[in-house]
């Protein structure tokens, strides 16, 4: 099976809480390719951002692998990742779907204290009472992504990418079933 998916590099993008990591993990398992979570490269322990140069170097080294499935939206490394990818999957779900997923995921993680990466965990205080709240980030970033991605796709800069836009969770489930 691995030979069939030789040199496949997939980037999964979308608004925070759209399910990028979940889809990337499932694709990675089905295609037997390494999964790379960009958040895990970006965030160090105690929700400390890695120095920009260190993050860029980590991403540059990681994308040099022959094949991978990566998820994330970091602008600072977009050209590096998108330039090396050959398939881009955009989870372009409606706002209410994203908001619901964000709320359910945030509550669940705050209750279970699930470890994400580098020992980081979400908390009720961080999620609901902080300027760094993932819920506030979703509200802020959703409209920007809806405008930004179509313009990037039309620019011609990433014309080498096969772009797959999934607009509903049902489309995503069907897409996974077809693999």
Q: Which residue has the higher pLDDT, 113 or 140?
A: 140
Q: Lowest-pLDDT range, 33-47, 51-65, 146-160?
A: 33-47
| Distance in angstroms (rounded) separating the CA atoms of residues 74 and 33 | 21
pLDDT at site 101: 83
**pLDDT > 70 in the chain, percent:** 88
The three state secondary structure string of the chain is: CCHHHCCCEEEEEECCCCCHHHHHHHHHHHHCCCEEEHHHHHEEHHHEECCHHHHHHHHHHHHCCCCEEEECCCHHHHHHHHHHCCEEEEECCCHHHHHHHHHHHHHHHHHHCCCCCCCCCCCHHHHHCCCCCHHHHHHHHHHHHHHHHHHHHHCCCCCCCEEEEECCHHHHHHHHHHC
pLDDT score of 166 more than 50: yes
Q: What is the mean predicted confidence (pLDDT) over 107-129? A: 67
Which band of pLDDT confidence, cut at 50, 70 and 90, is reported for residue 112?
Answer: confident
pLDDT at site 85: 97
Q: Lowest-pLDDT range, 98-102, 153-157, 159-163?
A: 98-102
pLDDT at site 45: 76
pTM strictly above 0.85: yes
pLDDT at site 53: 97
Q: Lowest-pLDDT range, 53-57, 113-117, 147-151?
A: 113-117
Average pLDDT value for the chain: 88
pLDDT score of 70 more than 80: yes
pLDDT score of 4 more than 80: no
According to DSSP, the residues that pair with 13 across neighbouring strands are 90
> Domain spanning 3-168 has what CATH number?
3.40.50.300
pLDDT at site 3: 44
């Amino acid at each position: 099976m691995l030979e069939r998916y030789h040199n496949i590099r997939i980037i999964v993008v979308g608004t925070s809480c759209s399910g990028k990591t979940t889809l990337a993990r499932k694709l990675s398992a089905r295609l037997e390719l390494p999964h790379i979570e960009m958040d895990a490269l970006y965030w160090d322990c105690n929700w400390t951002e890695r120095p920009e140069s260190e993050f860029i170097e980590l991403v540059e080294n990681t994308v040099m692998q022959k094949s991978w499935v990566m998820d994330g939206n970091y602008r600072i490394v977009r050209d590096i990742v998108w330039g090396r990818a050959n398939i881009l999957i955009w989870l372009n779900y409606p706002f209410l779907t994203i908001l619901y997923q964000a709320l359910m995921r945030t509550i669940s993680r705050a209750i279970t204290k699930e470890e994400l990466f580098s020992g980081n965990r979400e908390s009720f205080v961080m999620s609901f009472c902080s300027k760094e709240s993932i819920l506030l980030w979703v509200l802020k970033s959703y409209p920007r992504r809806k405008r930004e991605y179509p313009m990037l796709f039309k620019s011609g800069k990433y014309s080498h990418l096969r772009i797959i836009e999934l607009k509903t969770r049902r489309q995503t489930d069907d897409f996974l079933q077809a693999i």
